[in-house]
Amino acid sequence: MGATSKSSEVLIVGAGPVGLFAAVRLGQAGIQTTFIEKESEISQLPRACMYYPQVQFVLQDAGIWTNIVEGGGFRTTGLDIRLPPVSDDQGRKKPGELVANFPGEPNFDPQVDAYGSPVQPPSMSMLDMPQPLLRKVLLEKAIETGNVESKLWIQSGETDDWFFRALKDTSSPSFANYVHGLQNVWPTHVRQMAASLPAATSAA
């Protein structure tokens, strides 16, 4: 891998939904950001696939709700969340205890509202979207800001020092403390680069 094209103010480790959403918001704010991910592509494992109302509001506030819908997300309403099924006195299974309930929204039309209508508080719906699709949308929107750079597939044998050049001030005591504090769990080549930094200072 080559060096990053410009220095970054923020480094995000891990291109999961949280890391990618942070990259979107930082990029929208004009903050130069680099995120790194050990995988070469987005995992296709479904993982989380339903998101609570608060997540929907955050996505809308970021101005990407339309992209979420166009990318395969849709809303459902009227949902019960229960504990695992239990056996009744006749050896049959019955639904587990109800622990949460999202009542149906008044006038919710799944043929219309689930695909495209803005999320308006108070929304009691769930966003249904496999995590790979959500990550794909977030990745695209982060890159579109022009302030976010990605580094996928960070290999254990990486020898380029782009990691340090991506940061603005590697001579700061706080950065040196951070590097020296983690060097025991980092690959050998990273520890070697860390050794070239100013010695870590003790916290006052």
pLDDT per position as a tens digit, 125-147: 888 888 889 999 999 999 999 99
Cβ atoms 124, 53 nearer than 8 A:
yes
Instruction: Tell me the pTM.
Output: 0.64
HSE at residue 138, side-chain half, CA atoms within 13 A, is 26
For residue 18, pLDDT beyond 70: yes
Between residues 55 and 8, the one the model is more confident about: 55
Tell me the residue ranges of DSSP E strands in 64-114: 74-76, 79-82, 86-87, 93-94, 98-102
pLDDT of residue 198: 55
Q: Label residue 153 by pLDDT band (50, 70, 90).
A: low
Between residues 27 and 164, the one the model is more confident about: 27
Report the Cα 90 to chain-centroid distance in Å. 46
pLDDT of residue 171: 58
